[in-house]
Structure 1
Amino acid sequence: MKYETYTEYDPHHVGLAESAFLTVWSTLGRWRDSLVLVGGHVPKYLCGDLAQKRDLPRPATLDVDLGIALATDSGQYGNLLWELQGQGFRPNQAHPSRFEKVIEGFTIPVDFLVEKPPHTTGTTQVEDITAGILPGVDRALATARQILVTGVDLHGAEQKLTARICEVGPFLALKLRAFCDRQQPKDAFDILYTLRHYDGGTDAAITAFAEEVRLGNPACPDALRTLKEHFTSETSPGPVKASHFVLGAATPGESSDNRFMRLRLRQDMVDAAAQLLKAATE
């Protein structure tokens, strides 16, 4: 689930989604080498100390997206379905690649995503679960960064785990490809936030994306098309929707401070997209 603006994200529900990730990751220990976190949680983990002062809102998401290797094999250890159900996650009949758990009346989805060329859409079986097909997952798996994550799981237990997190190059490719088809404000914001606050620096993030293009990441053709079609000016969908996510809809009576911030966000988004495109096509 994605909302149009940051203020629509209930901090408690955001916390539950993170607890869901900790619950699932702690459960699937035997499969961790075949898994990687992708999606809206990634900027939090790639962008360093959240205690630092920042002019953008903190990352927020209400679901968990996990990339999984097509050749995943549990061998003698049981199966994924049993383990997930043992933690209270049930398959969604309408979306077979999704598991859900209801906490305090709030539904938390966990989606599994896999790469299966030449297919670019649909689903396929991995072990005993269904996964959605998504180009770019294999690069996320191959370059995943090991990051220590801490927090409280859905049962109230404190967890301290080493998780495999999608690195910045594959993440930007996946997010740009996602924006190509659905133009969600949150996707544009995640791109801007990651480029601005990546713990290795903006230049390193741009270089990493260019490397994904050079290596033939299958998410990159659509990612490049997105940059060319949706991020070229301050009135293009990408910059407009990134600013909309942070500030909400522009109004005739908007304060001068808000107008200035909106313009700055759009300009920053255009500049960042231009740098990405230049680095990827030089």
Structure 2
Amino acid sequence: MDKPESRLGYESERTQTCRQLLITLVRKLGPWRNKLILVGGLVPYLLFEDGDHAGTTDIDLVINPTDVEDVESYRTLEQNFRKIGLRRGISLEGQAQHFRWTISDHEGRETASLDLLCPSSEGEAGKVLALKDFGEKRLSAIGIPGARLVFDDYQEIELRGELLGGQGKTRVKVRIVGLVAYVVLKALAFKERGESKDAYDLIYVLMRAGPEKLGQAFGGKMSDNPNEPLYPEAVTVLKDSFLDDEEVPGVEKEGPVQYARFVEPTDPDEQAIAAQDAAGVAEIFLRAASKMD
């Protein structure tokens, strides 16, 4: 499913199904529940459930390749996926997608999907990487830059909700990416593909978490990890994409413009205000981060 270009294309029903699928996954996955970390567009929706986040079309889970060392561990993961109704995704060409799993309603219409992601090396960003090949059984994940950070920077949140299939309500603890690592992931994703949803998720998190507070936390992480190049790389992306330089005002750059077009797709005047907001929030964040570095 292609991502909508503005918030108007996101449906609350699909986002709620993604939330319900996540709760069911965590409840049914056994030991695997502590090996998969949620990233992507569902994170701000869950962290700030009292807000007005646009939502998401899918679930993104980071998997550590070292956790898939033998056929039994893979079989357990696949069996658990299938037990809750997930099936392998199928590409437009009719090929099985070994990184994507989908769930459908009784009429066969896809209602939510799950993508497995993993850390990528240079040149692997966005590529489908084979994690393990057990004969006809294959497990793949999409390589994303910065994913290695999530194994040390995550938090647990509690979710309550209905299980899929009318199995009743439950309460689970979900591992989700920490906000500093989330900023890195979204900044690098925007660098790679320039999608408006990445700019939106990034600025939304800065606004809701507080750009100065989150900037200070980011700067602290950067100071504590001087040999980690991902933090300064994310800073460079934000500067280049959101802030003024000698030639171009920040509000005219790709980041604020993409954010504004996502949140205000039909009103040019409101777009101009939204672009100013995005550039301003990014500047506050980066100023706070530089003070802590």
Normalised TM-score (structure 1): 0.83
For residue 110 of structure 1, the aligned residue among 114, 117, 124 is: 114
Deviating more after overlay: 165-174 vs 24-33 = 24-33
2:257 paired with 1:240: yes
1:36-185 aligned within 5 A: 36-47=37-48, 50=50, 57-73=52-68, 79-94=76-91, 95-103=97-105, 105-117=109-121, 120-121=124-125, 122=127, 123-125=129-131, 129-156=139-166, 157-185=168-196
Distance, in Å, in 1 between the alignment partners of 2:54 and 2:159 is: 15
Give the match's secondary structure for 2:183. helix
Give the match's secondary structure for 2:98. coil
Name the one with the larger strand percent.
2
User: What residue in structure 1 maps to residue 234 of structure 2?
Assistant: 223
User: What residue in structure 2 maps to residue 29 of structure 1?
Assistant: 30
For residue 205 of structure 1, the aligned residue among 202, 214, 218 is: 214
Give the match's secondary structure for 1:268. helix
1:154 deviates by 2.5
User: What residue in structure 1 maps to residue 273 of structure 2?
Assistant: 264
Tell me which of the two structures has the higher relative contact order, counting C-alpha pairs closer than 8 angstroms and 6 or more residues apart.
1
Unmatched 5+ residue regions in structure 2? 92-96, 244-249
CA RMSD of aligned residues (A): 2.5
CA deviation profile, 1:204-232 (whole Å, cap 9, x unmatched): 31123334544255644552342132212
C-alpha distance 210-59 of structure 1, shift in aligned 2 (>3 A)? farther
Supply the AA of the counterpart residue of 2:24.
T
Q: What is the count of residue pairs matched by the alignment?
A: 266
The ranges of structure 1 where at least 4 consecutive aligned residues each deviate by more than 6 angstroms after the TM superposition are 74-77
Unmatched 5+ residue regions in structure 1? 252-258
2:266 paired with 1:249: yes
Give the match's secondary structure for 1:234. helix
Normalised TM-score (structure 2): 0.80
Residue pair 2:217, 2:289 contacting (<8 A) in 1 also:
no
2:284 paired with 1:275: yes
Distance, in Å, in 2 between the alignment partners of 1:79 and 1:138 is: 24
Deviating more after overlay: 160-169 vs 100-109 = 100-109
CA deviation profile, 1:178-215 (whole Å, cap 9, x unmatched): 111222222111111111112xx432311233345442
